[in-house]
Amino acid sequence: MRTDYCGELRKEDVGREVTLCGWVHRWRDHGGIIFIDLRDVSGMVQLAFDPERSGEVHATGHSLRSEDVLMVRGKVSARPAETVNRELPTGEVEVDVSEVEVFNRAETPPFSVEERSDVDEVLRLRYRYIDLRREEMRDNLLLRHRVARSVRGFLDSNGFTEVETPVLTKSTPEGARDFLVPARLQPKKFYALPQSPQLFKQLLMVAGIDRYYQFAHAFRDEDLRADRQPEHTQIDMEMSFMTVPEILELLERLLVHLFESVLDVRLETPFPCMDYEEAMLRYGSDKPDLRFDLPIVDVSDILRQTGFAVFGKTLEAGGIVRAIRAPGAAALSRREIDELTDYAVSQGAGGLAYLIIRDGLKVQSPIAKFMSPDEIGSILEAVDAREGDIIFFVADAVQTAVPVLGAVRNRLARKLDLVQEGWKFLWVTDFPMFKLDEDSGEIIAEHHPFTLPNEETIGFLDDEPLRVRGSLYDLVLNGVEIASGSLRIHKPELQRRILEILGHEEHKMEQDFGFLMEALRYGAPPHGGLAFGLDRLVMLMAGLDTIRDVIAFPKTQSGGCPLTGAPAAVSPEQLKELKLKQR
């Protein structure tokens, strides 16, 4: 139907006859001549409907309104110098319309496509097809497309094979809750939608595929946040005969290629790397944001004999006292300090103690009188305190104090405007293999039960499994985990031992993972991999705060779709076919 896209016309096209299709974006009447901005996926261009050329065409132009769909023919002309729009790539030209055909008249939309003010998100999702007409939303999807294309190109050129794995699979007892699908042909049995292609990609390595990837749709029935959806897309990869350093180096090359080809940003490699214990000690998080330097310092040993009862009792009970220096925070008001304390309490702390450092390193604080000069001096030295700083403390059990200070660290960085621009990548490695379930007290997998223990700690498997570290690695970007992976167990005996530690009895092990155990007995290569969260990655590259704005048709925070009404009730006839009853 068209010869050109609206957003592609330039000054060198002046004099050409063109045919364009698109939506009416904006309508203006300037003394008889009707000006319309016509929009398509490439951008916009101005149309001119002059009554002196054609009264009929002008009359049609006069009748058009926002979001009408049309086709126009006309000649490209240069706009007068005083009317050039420097904000538009097509701002130097316009199209003098000689013919127009209206494909569809549009009702007044529930919100303006050109409107830049905030629109209620539920309303946007209810009319998502209109929301996606907005320039910023269109650009988000185009960015997602460019990211996917760039990643595919790199992986294809590095020996990877794209393989699709099943979406209807078997429920396993690991990870989040499954979405279940009843099997009509096998009554009282269910498929599960995959939380990841984990087992299938390992089987592909057993099959000799060597390097696999997939843009995999994954499903998890879990509570939602800004960076989570019940269904998401991950760039899933698995590789045979590769060590951890080799895998990390390849993935860094992938990201260098991606950022340069899509954002024209040149990343520095190698990315910094730290193990899990160091990340938790220094930053109170396994996904620290390194765009600001606010390290956490353990001051427990300094305060073993302190006269401040809150600290002393915590240490006697086996807890810790850790501190963080907030540069320049002495300028905060008492109200702002109280708000920060309330935030720490909301994260699980009993409170937030502090020392304000005044001129000459003099200390002002309600707790200072309970601490000796030597204790205060040692603390100031340990955190490298300076005039105008505040030192904040959390005293509690380690499992509480660590994440609280991590959250306080992030809040302080934004409060004090310490977050720098740029891209800060970090590899976090050697996570614990196991942890204790808070409710049952039983040992459960920290990630999943197919992770290879690292050589340094595998000797603790039998007697002290909580000391075992896995050959795990997460990639963090600006404080957001964007990828997670590990080396996998490739020996059936070790896989069986890990499942036993996790409490799997023989019949349960065979029922849930028998097909994997059998495959490992037929010659499995050493292998490992990871998965990038495509939605999170694109969100960060677009400079956004929620993955919903980079997904075409996302769900709300409650897991609903305002556009289609999903989830929805089904008819009694459908339930009968599935041999199900609704109570």
Return the CATH number at 240: 3.30.930.10
**Residue 102, token pair as written in the block:** 């209206």
176 part of a folded domain: yes
Q: What is the spatial distance between Cα 556 and Cα 561, in angstroms, rounded to a whole number?
A: 6
The mean predicted confidence, pLDDT, of the chain is 94
The verdict on 149 and 70 lying in the same domain is no
The answer to whether 238 and 528 are in contact (CB under 8 A) is yes
215 part of a folded domain: yes
Residue 477 sits at the vertex; the CA angle it makes with 466 and 432, to the nearest 5 degrees, is 5
The verdict on 97 and 153 lying in the same domain is no
Return the CATH number at 306: 3.30.1360.30
3-state secondary structure of 78: strand
The verdict on 239 and 188 lying in the same domain is yes
Q: What is the spatial distance between Cα 72 and Cα 2, in angstroms, rounded to a whole number?
A: 9
Task: Quick: pLDDT tens for 421-433.
Answer: 999 999 999 999 9
The verdict on 390 and 473 lying in the same domain is no
Return the CATH number at 14: 2.40.50.140
128 part of a folded domain: no
Q: Which residues contact 399 (CB under 8 A, 6 or more apart)?
A: none
The verdict on 219 and 315 lying in the same domain is no
Phi then psi dihedrals of residue 430, to 5 deg = 55, 50
The verdict on 318 and 214 lying in the same domain is no
pLDDT at residue 173, as a whole number = 66
pLDDT at residue 160, as a whole number = 98
Which domain range does residue 20 map to? 6-104
The verdict on 262 and 142 lying in the same domain is yes
pLDDT at residue 440, as a whole number = 83
Low-confidence ranges of the chain (pLDDT < 70): 115-117, 173-175, 224-227
451 part of a folded domain: yes
Q: What is the spatial distance between Cα 554 and Cα 140, in angstroms, rounded to a whole number?
A: 13
Going by their DSSP bridges, the two strands 472-477 and 273-275 should be labelled as unpaired
Task: Quick: pLDDT tens for 137-163.
Answer: 999 999 999 999 999 999 999 999 999
536 part of a folded domain: yes
The verdict on 211 and 259 lying in the same domain is yes
pLDDT at residue 226, as a whole number = 63
226 part of a folded domain: yes
pLDDT at residue 115, as a whole number = 67
Total of domains in the chain: 3
